Structure 1
Amino acid sequence: MSVESAKKFLEKMKTDEDFNQKVKGCVDAEERMAFVKEAGFDFTMEEIKEVSENLSDDDLDAVAGGMCLTDWCSRGAIL
C-alpha cells in the first residue's frame, strides 16, 4: 500500500471520466474498494486521506462528485 498509489488513483479519477463513472457506479464502499484494488491501486484510507488533505476544494469536487470511497466520510475520505 502506498501514498503514491493513492496519488495515482486521484489523478485517474480527475482525468479518466470512464474510470470515474465506474467508481461512482459501485453500489457501496465494499464494491468501490474491490473495484479500485482490481484496477491496480493499493492504498489505505489513511494514505488517501493524507493525499486528499493537500487537494483544494475544487480538486476534491472534481474527484468526489459527493461520494465516499468507504462508509467512513470526512473531507479527506470523499471520493
Structure 2
Amino acid sequence: MSAEAATQWVLKLHENEELRREAEAAGSFEDRQALARQHGFEFCKEEIEDAFKADDELSDDDLDAVAGGSIAMKEANKRAKTEAFIAAASSVAAAM
C-alpha cells in the first residue's frame, strides 16, 4: 500500500471518465478499493482520503502538470519557443 499509488489512482480517475463513473457507482470503500486493485493500485483508506484532500487543493493546471509530467513541461517549452519566435518575427516585420 502506498500514498503514491493513491495519488496515481486519483489522477487516473481524472483522466478516465468511464473508470471514474465505475468508481462512483461502487457501493463501498472496499468495492472501490477492489476496483483500484484490479487496475494495479494498492492503498489504504487513509492514503486515498489524503490523496483526495490534496486533489481538492490542486488546480487543473497542477493536475495537468502532475499527470503529464515531462510531457507537460515539453509542451510548455514548445509554446514558449513558439511565442518567442512570433514576437521576434513581428519585430522584424515592424522594422521593415
Q: Shorter-chain TM-score: which interval?
A: 0.5 to 0.7
How far 1:9 sits from its partner (Å)?
Answer: 0.4
Q: Which residue does the alignment assign to 2:52?
A: 52
**C-alpha distance 54-27 of structure 1, shift in aligned 2 (>3 A):** closer
Return the letter of the residue paired with 1:19: L
Matches within 5 A, 1:18-37: 18-37=18-37
Q: Which residue does the alignment assign to 2:4?
A: 4
Per-residue Cα deviation, 1:16-43 (whole angstroms, up to 9, x for no partner)? 0011111122233332221111111101
**C-alpha distance 32-49 of structure 1, shift in aligned 2 (>3 A):** closer
State TM-score, norm by structure 1.
0.60
More helix by share: 2
SS at match of 2:54: coil
- Alignment partners' CA distance in 2, 1:17 and 1:30: 20
Q: Which residue does the alignment assign to 1:14?
A: 14
State the identity %: 25
Point out the structure with max Rg over C-alpha.
2
Per-residue Cα deviation, 1:27-60 (whole angstroms, up to 9, x for no partner)? 333322211111111011111122222233687x
Q: Verify the 8 A CA contact 2:10 2:55 in the aligned structure 1.
A: no
Bigger relative contact order, structure 1 or 2 (CA pairs below 8 A, ≥6 apart): 1
State TM-score, norm by structure 2.
0.51
Once superposed, what is the RMSD of the aligned Cα atoms? 2.1
